[in-house]
Structure 1
Amino acid sequence: MKAIIPVAGAGTKLRPHTYTQPKALIPLAGRTILSIIIDQLVDAGITEFVFVVGYLGEKIQHYVEKKYPQLTCHFVQQNSREGTGHALSLTRDVVGNDEVLIVLGDTICECDFKEVIAAPYSMLGLKKVDDPRNFGVAELDETGRITRVVEKPQIPKSNLALVGLYKIKETQQLYECLQSNIDNRIKSHDEFQLTDALECMIEHGVQFNGFKVSNWFDCGRKDTLLETNAILLKKYKLASNPVLPYENTIIIPPVSIGEGCNIKNAIIGPNVAIGDNTVINYSIVKDSIIGSFSNLYEVVLKASLIGSDANIRGLSQSLNIGDNTEIDLG
């Protein structure tokens, strides 16, 4: 089985960060969104990956090849962003006849991946939501078999959202449906959707069963990203390294502090993730994500997302600062 991870999106909801950093590489609880996904799949026994890259794709490729040299990885370029259906259609030659596990690159799910992989049918990950109109939605019969899927329906007949996790056994039918939709210009919300290809497969008799994920973390926006960071910090039980004391500094767990950081005269935490080689002095930081190689001096930050190589001086309560930014708030 191969894993397909589409990571070609521009991440417009996380700008300015995604002007210079792919959304999948934004730090999260001491790791990155992409590394959490890959580690889950490697633990389930998958060793071959297909990444659909586009915007800033060279950074994705460099990161994966450096961090996971033991894996077999393929990188497929999507030059025009026309939806997940179009992105997946580009992987046909690489995948061949192998079964695939598709995991969207901006969503973290918790489930028994080994059980999903071993299932005798194609499987779609599901989660109940309050307002399903913003998601792909699955309708099930009494046996748990999926009878219909619809992308962002105006009048949903189910509150079971597709979480971005798909196990496909009938890959040839998948690619035939994807290509048919592209040839016939069948779009939903102005894009070629994977959901429409799945509905095509269902109409042609392919059996899909649903499985419910225990947790589903959306990392596509600043507020949900910070919430996910706090949850995962608690889950991973991360804190600062006790053998590296920081001068005149109070650490309030859970906190993740990268290597080579210089922190003094500060209060850090709770729910803070700091990248490598960052300098923080005379500052208070809580409920925030700070990138690598940044410098913070005399600032008070809460609910903030700070990119890498940022320099902040002064006082602020909530910021959304991209990479390579220099700010003086004094």
Structure 2
Amino acid sequence: MKAIIPVAGAGTKLRPHTYTQPKALIPLAGRTILSIIVDQLVEAGIREFVFVVGYLGEKIQHYVEKKYPDLTMHFVQQNSREGTGHAILLTREVVKNDEVLIVLGDTIVECDFKEVINAPHSLLGVKKVDDPRNFGVAELHESGTISRVIEKPQIPKSNLALVGMYKIRETEQMYQCLEDNVQKQLRSHDEFQLTDALECMIQHGVQFNAFKVNNWFDCGRKETLLETNAILLKKYKLATNPVLPYENTIIIPPVSIGEGCNIKNSIIGPNVAIGDNTVVSYSIVKDSIIGSFSNLYEVVLKSSLIGSDANIRGLSQSLNIGDNTEIDLG
């Protein structure tokens, strides 16, 4: 089985960070979104990965090749962002007729991955949500098999959202449906959707079962990213770097601090992740993500997302700042 991870999106909802950093490489609980996904799949036994890259794709390739030198990797370029369906279609020559596990590159789920991989039928990951109109939605037969899927319905008939994880056995049919949709220019919400190809497969008799994930973390927006960071810091606290004593500094767990950081006269935490080689002085930081090689001096930050190589002086309450930024709030 091969894993397909589409990471070609521009991440417009996380700008300005995604002008210089792919969304999948944003730090999260001392790791990155992408490394959490790949680690889960490797632990389940998958050794061959297909990454669909586009915007800043060279950074994705450099990162995974350096971090996972023992894995078999393929990189497929999506030059025009025309949706997840278009992205998956581009992997056809690499995948051929092998079974695949598709995991979207901005989605972290918790489930029994080995059970999913070994299932005798194709599976779609689902979870109940309060408002399914912003997601792909699955409707079920009484038997538990999926009767229909639809992308972002205005009047949903189900509250089961597709979480962005798909185990596909019938890859030949999937690629044929994707190709037919592209040739016929069948778009939903101005893009070629993977959901539409799955519905095509269902109409042609392919059986999909639903599996409910234990947790689902959507990392596509600042608010949900910070919330996910807090949850995962608590979950991964034993796996993160041990907190070292810093000069005249109070650390309130859970906190992840990268290597080479210089922190003094500050209060850090709770729910803070700091990248490598960052300097923090005379500051208070809580519920925030701070990138690598940044410099914070006399700031008060809460619910903030700070990119790498940022330089901030003064006082603030909530910021959303990209890489290579300098701000003086004094």
Q: TM exceeds 0.5?
A: yes
TM, length-normalised to structure 2: 0.99
Partner of 1:80: 80
* CA distance in 2 between partners of 1:75 and 1:133 (Å): 32
Q: 3-state DSSP class of the match of 2:93?
A: helix
Q: 3-state DSSP class of the match of 1:270?
A: coil
The within-5 A match list for 1:179-190 is: 179-190=179-190
Post-superposition CA distance 1:51-104 (Å, at most 9, x none): 000000000000000000010000000000000000000000000110000000
Give the counterpart letter for 1:7 in structure 2.
V
Number of residue pairs the alignment of both structures matches:
329
* CA distance in 2 between partners of 1:92 and 1:240 (Å): 40
Q: Give the C-alpha shift of residue 240 in structure 1.
A: 6.1
* CA distance in 2 between partners of 1:266 and 1:133 (Å): 43
Give the counterpart letter for 1:128 in structure 2.
K
For the Cα contact (< 8 Å) 1:50–1:76, is it kept in 2? yes
**% identical aligned pairs:** 87
For the Cα contact (< 8 Å) 1:240–1:255, is it kept in 2? no
Give the counterpart letter for 1:179 in structure 2.
E
* CA distance in 1 between partners of 2:282 and 2:100 (Å): 50
Which segments of 5 or more consecutive residues in structure 2 lack a partner in the other structure? none
Whether 1:325 aligns to 2:290 is: no
The within-5 A match list for 1:191-202 is: 191-202=191-202
* CA distance in 2 between partners of 1:79 and 1:247 (Å): 48
Give the counterpart letter for 1:113 in structure 2.
F
Partner of 1:249: 249
* CA distance in 1 between partners of 2:188 and 2:223 (Å): 27
Whether 1:217 aligns to 2:217 is: yes
Give the counterpart letter for 2:143 in structure 1.
T
* CA distance in 2 between partners of 1:207 and 1:240 (Å): 44
- Aligned Cα root-mean-square deviation (Å): 0.8
Post-superposition CA distance 1:238-297 (Å, at most 9, x none): 57624x310000000000000000000000000000000000000000000000000000
Give the counterpart letter for 1:291 in structure 2.
G
* CA distance in 2 between partners of 1:259 and 1:143 (Å): 51
The within-5 A match list for 1:117-156 is: 117-156=117-156
* CA distance in 1 between partners of 2:161 and 2:168 (Å): 18
Post-superposition CA distance 1:25-48 (Å, at most 9, x none): 000000000000000000000000
* CA distance in 1 between partners of 2:54 and 2:196 (Å): 22
* CA distance in 2 between partners of 1:301 and 1:136 (Å): 35
* CA distance in 2 between partners of 1:240 and 1:196 (Å): 43
* CA distance in 2 between partners of 1:237 and 1:94 (Å): 38
For the Cα contact (< 8 Å) 1:240–1:251, is it kept in 2? no
Q: Give the C-alpha shift of residue 237 in structure 1.
A: 1.9
Partner of 1:232: 232
Which segments of 5 or more consecutive residues in structure 1 lack a partner in the other structure? none
The within-5 A match list for 1:70-109 is: 70-109=70-109
Post-superposition CA distance 1:118-141 (Å, at most 9, x none): 000000000000111110000101
Give the counterpart letter for 1:253 in structure 2.
P
Give the counterpart letter for 1:308 in structure 2.
S
The within-5 A match list for 1:269-280 is: 269-280=269-280
Q: 3-state DSSP class of the match of 2:187?
A: coil
TM, length-normalised to structure 1: 0.99
Q: 3-state DSSP class of the match of 1:248?
A: coil
Whether 1:30 aligns to 2:27 is: no
Whether 1:283 aligns to 2:291 is: no
For the Cα contact (< 8 Å) 1:11–1:23, is it kept in 2? yes
* CA distance in 1 between partners of 2:215 and 2:247 (Å): 38
* CA distance in 1 between partners of 2:110 and 2:182 (Å): 32
Give the counterpart letter for 1:82 in structure 2.
E
Whether 1:2 aligns to 2:33 is: no
Partner of 2:173: 173
* CA distance in 1 between partners of 2:139 and 2:310 (Å): 46
Post-superposition CA distance 1:166-222 (Å, at most 9, x none): 000000000000000000000100100000000000000000000000000010000
Q: 3-state DSSP class of the match of 1:50?
A: strand
Give the counterpart letter for 1:327 in structure 2.
I
